[in-house]
Amino acid sequence: MTGVAVVTGGASGIGAAVVEGLAKRGFSVVVADVAASPPTDVSSSDSVAALAVRVAAEHGRCDVLVNCAGVVAVGDVLTVSEEDWTRAFDVNVTGVWRTARAFIPLMTGGGAIVNVASAAALRAIPEMPAYVASKAAVVGLTRAMAIDHAPQGIRVNCVCPGLVDTPLARRTQEQRGGEARAAVRNFEPYLVKRTAEAAEIAEAVVLLATNRYATGATLALDGGRSLH
């Protein structure tokens, strides 16, 4: 066993691929998800605290934390609901803060945190300001955490996926306007003209979790979209 890893949003999509990738590297992986048993909701401090207590009791430590849980809100600033705006930040940003706050004390021998943001944080996409702004905040939070926790031997990095074939991404595209959907179908302005597989993103997450010289990095995995 290489160590103990906790993956939020680990029941599906990118998170599930990360769980598989870490397990192949020998990690004992704890899946934290609203669909897991017992469920974990990163928008609830009590839920996250209960998860940390369970991990401490069962494993005694945490070596890797991957913050992959996330939600999407569709609509520009005039049409997105206040409820959706608030939830996007509560899950995507404050959820990262909650889990880091709960698990850093378990990284007594050092460790690694990988936050999953989005290429939308690097180049905005239409009709999704809540999502764009929340994921941009994750990039900034990652850099701040890397500086603050380096003395404890904790590395903090961030991945920014582009278009990935996941259930959440497919549902999101169905909610967007026709012009936005057409641009995605034509892979505008991607240099790699295809959708990424979740496993391709997971490979990068595992790399950042295990490479001992990587910290404070923001890695775009978006087929070149953010270059334009």
DSSP letters, 139-177, are HHHHHHHHHHHGGGTEEEEEEEE-SB--HHHHHHHHHS-
How many C-beta neighbours within 10 Å does residue 171 have? 11
Whole-number Å distance between alpha carbons of 211 and 79? 42
DSSP state of 30: E
Candidate list 27, 85, 103, 131, residue with the active-site label: 131
213 is an active site residue: no
Whole-number Å distance between alpha carbons of 187 and 197? 15
Q: How far is CA 36 from CA 40, 69, 128, 216, in A?
A: 7, 12, 28, 30
Q: Which residues are catalytic?
A: 131
